[in-house]
Amino acid sequence: MLNWEHKKVLVCGGAGMIGSHMSRRLLELGAEVTVADNLSSGSKKNIETLYIDFEEVDLRDKGVCETLVKGKDAVFQLAADMGGIGYITAIGAQIMHNSAMINLNMLEAARREATPNYFYSSSACVYPEYLQKETEVVPLRESDAIPAQPDQFYGWEKLFSEKLVEAYQRDYGMNIRVARFHNVYAGCFTAYDKDKAKAPAHLVIKALRHPKPPFVLWGDGKCTRSYLYIDDCVEAVLRLVDSDYALPINIGSDRLISVDDLAKIVIDISGKEIVPGHDVSKPEGVRGRNADLTLVEKVLGWRPKVSLEDGLERTYRWAEEHYSELENI
C-alpha cells in the first residue's frame, strides 16, 4: 500500500469537482498537495479551506508543466476542457486542442522529471457509438473501445491521450494508471452552471428553482446512463494508483437508469409536485451507456458503495443549503 505521508503530489485540475475531492483525500492521507488549475470550470471556493499550494496556471504552457512536476512523487492529471452534453456537442476543435496540449505537456514533463507515479483520467466517452444505440445497452467492457468510434470529439481526444499514455509506458517505462470515468457526480464542490454542469447537478438546480422556470428534461427522457458518487470514485482511483494494473479500466457504476427515472429520484427528494417536460431539440448523447465492472472488481476488489438515492440526496441537500451561491448561475 502506498504511503502518502509527506509525498509531494500535483493535482492538475484540482479546483474542479473530482480534483478537489481527490486533493482533500490526499491531504487526509498526509500528502503535501499542489493544485494546478486555470479555473475555467473549477473554482477557488472548492479548495479555499485546504492547506495546499494553489497555482492558477495554463497547463497548455510547456514551461509551466515542467516547473510544476519538479520534485513531485505523483501527478494526478485530471485537467481537461470539458463540460456537460450541451458543451461537448457544441465545441470540438477547442476541446481537442486544449486537452491534447495539456496531456502532451504533462506527460513529457513527467517523463523528463522521472515522476514515480502518474494518473490519467480518461472517460467512458471513448467507447464507440455503435455499441450505445439502445437504451437497454450491454455494459461496456474495456476491450470494447477498439474498433473506435466515439460519438463526440471529446471522446476522440480522450482515446488519443490513452494511446499517448500507452506509447509513453512502452517507450519510456513510465508508471502510469488510467481510469475511464463513468458519469461521476457530487453535491459539494461541483459545477452548477449551464455549460459545465453534468446531468445530476442540472436536475437538482431545476428542482430547486421549480416552478420558475419549468422543469424540462433534455431529449425524450428515455436515454440511459449509470452514475458514480465522488467518494467511491476517489477510493477506486487511489486503489488503482496503488495497483500493478497498467491498462485503462472502468471506474463507474453498473446500475443503468433512464433520465426520466433519474429525474424522479431528484423530484422525490425535493418533496415538490413536479411533472417534467421534455425538449427533444436538445442534445442527449448516445442512447445508452453502462459500465462493466468485471475487471475492476477482479483487479482492485472494488465496487461502488454509495447508492444513487443516497448520493443524490447528499447532492440535493448540499445545493439546497448553498442555493444563494448558485441562484445566479
Q: For residue 297, which phi and psi values (nearest 5 degrees)?
A: -65, -40
Residue 291 and residue 227 in contact, taking contact as beta carbons nearer than 8 Å: no
The DSSP output letter for 130 is G
- Residue 81: all three cell numbers together: 476542457
Residue 23's SS3 state is helix
H-state helical runs in 132-242: 153-172, 199-209, 230-241
Query: 45, 51, 11, 12: which is closest to 28 by C-alpha?
Result: 51
- Residue 237: all three cell numbers together: 482511483
Q: Is 154 a catalytic residue?
A: yes
The CA-atom distances, in angstroms, between 174 and each of 109, 112, 116, 167, 289 are 12, 11, 8, 9, 31
How big, in percent rounded to 5, are the helix, strand and coil portions of the chain? 45, 15, 40
Dihedral sign, CA of 9, 36, 202, 83?
Answer: negative
Name the β-bridge partners of 249: 179
Burial letters 52-69, b for 16+ CB under 10 A, else e: bebbebebbeeebbbebb
Catalytic residue (one of 87, 120, 127, 154): 154
**What contacts 161, CB < 8 A, 6 or more positions away?**
99, 100, 103, 120, 122
Separation of alpha carbons 15 and 44, rounded Å: 6
- Chain centroid to CA 311: 16
Question: Which residue numbers are catalytic?
Answer: 154
